[in-house]
Structure 1
Amino acid sequence: MSTGAEQWQAILQISRQLNSQLEIDALLELVLEKMMEVVSAEAGTLWILEEDGYLAPLVARGPRAEALKGLRLLPGEGLAGQVVVEDQPRLVPDVRNDPTWARRFDDSTGFVTRSLLCIPLRARKGVIGCLQLVNKRQGESFTSDDLEVALALAGQAAIALENSRLYNWQRQLLNSLIRVLASALDARDPYTSGHSERVSRYAVLTGREMGLPPEELEALERAALLHDVGKIGIRDDVLLKEGPLEPEKWQIMKTHTEIGARILGTVEPRHLAQKMYEGALYHQEKYDGSGYPTGIKGKEIPLVARIIAVADTFDAITTDRPYRKGAPFHEALKEIRRCSGTHFDPAVVEAFIRGMSKALPEDDN
């Protein structure tokens, strides 16, 4: 940027983008690339403070940036380490005259550092890293105006980055808890161990073939993991019975869909749990209306449940049970196709078979 006015206009634009971005990878890219653009830097590195106190380069741009991968700064090492420890920005016109400069990075990458601008990323609970900008273009030196602009952006970037990390940690925690619950449910019956995970993989594979966006794929994955959560309310003499169930016990088993819906219907916020609720309640519905618990048919059945129905049946066919051996995958795929239009949505079946054909070795197709 050639003028201060242009720099501050860019800061306003970047701030709006930062406040709308929660995906951490995209956020890191945005912070570094825009900051380099604003101050006309040749290269840049976004260092993040890890739990052990080391600084790691999460994103690097510029000549030889790839060579930084795997390198870490000791606590307090180099200019970046000092900036994080002291929580003070630094502008170094000539690194050769600065004793804190860590020369080993230039030695290991072959890059020539002339000048540096290093800004701490200060969030609510302290410094979480630093933004390092290297070598102003056209051989010029960074100025106090560059420092002021970088400070303005770094403060907002740090808060946005902290929010993004919290968001991702919470999402990881939720996904981990869902997987633990699914594994605990599967563990009740040794013959269905891993069932929920497999159904989830098959469902996501199908959803991807159908072109579902990432957020819907994530919701589908969670719903598939918990589609059988209602079996927690089915007593052992029904759930664990070897062989076909008597009519009375079969009626009890069928209630797992409604039990699951009651459990998941209490999850808040409701709009985020809706797909899980639909998967639990409707995954035993059939495309021709002959399923349970409500007998709805066709597109009345939510898409998430139509996808889980195919994945669930495929896993049931291919899994060994005490009273029968699981069928080979190619036979199970034929059975799924045979039930297209009656038990299953034809569009879902085609997507499932396409996805499985890509994922399986040729001998299994």
Structure 2
Amino acid sequence: MVRPIHGGNLDWAAEIAGCAPDDILDFSASINPLGIPPSAIALIRDNIDTLQHYPDPSYHKLRKALADHHGVTPEQIVVGNGAAELLTWGAYEGSKLTDFYLPSPCFADYRRAVKTFEIPTKFYPLDALEKGFKEDTSPSGLIINNPHNPTGKLWDKPTLQRHLNKFALVIIDEAFMDFITPEYAPSLIDLVTDYPNLIVVRSLTKFYAIPGLRLGYAITNPQRCQTWQQWRDPWSVNNFASLVGETVIKDQEFQQKTYQWLTPARIALENALKQNPLFAPLPSAVNFLLVKTKIPSSQLQQKLLKQSQILIRDCLSFPELGDDFFRIAIRTPQENQRLIDALNMAYDP
């Protein structure tokens, strides 16, 4: 099988490990380890008959639930088959621009989206968001992910807001913002009304552990939402995804459990990694850690799979990082300890 460019490919990992996919402990995909919210499981079980019907093509109830959650109007929201679909439409809208500025290191789907429409790209170092861009960027597009993947870095709101007047189109990918407690989350959603060039993309799949359902949404000006709705294929969001989205966005009990789990689990895993001189984790605000390694990450990945049936994310798909880094999700304390034990066993000095 071809080496995947994204995390979470358990079939590929199981083939290397010589086991069933369900036997793999997956640290490569940054998904909430608390699992699917019970509210979502019950909803799917009790609504199996909805498979007999087409979804509402306007997704009115889902957009209303999301709008109420974020304090915007339903007309400012368009839903999609994961954030990836919405990134594609964002790139299509920007296809007449001079170029797109992408972060370095860069989530692979940004390159995929702009390459689809043959848009010239420029890569900016992450500190450019704080220091500024020296060249004229007025006819250009800008993509920012905040929190940043794969480093876990989080920028404050004023740092990002000042770029909204300099670029013709700004896409803020906030796929991991839900992992920041609301009172500290520097989202730009409340600026959408004032900046017609701003698109904020969100994902429900990571926080609510439903990547198989594929559900994301964009918050932007109503005219753009109407345009995208006309471009897209009908019914790109299935009935289960729509119903689950309406429900989990209101599930405060699950949200609080996630916040209570994440911070202590991340601190403990980071401190445990620091005890091994081969590894140096970078500070992170979210549910994953980027780790500098003295052992090539692709070699380490293979060893962990074969010896311990554990999958980590190598960084070969990030050219700036390559074999010098790997990325790991934050999982439960017990699972995190299993990873630490496996790392120490694989390279015991």
Please, what TM-score do these two structures have when normalized by structure 2?
0.25
More helix by share: 1
More strand by share: 2
Of the two structures, which has the highest relative contact order with CA contacts closer than 8 Å and spacing of 6 or more? Answer: 2
Please, what TM-score do these two structures have when normalized by structure 1?
0.24
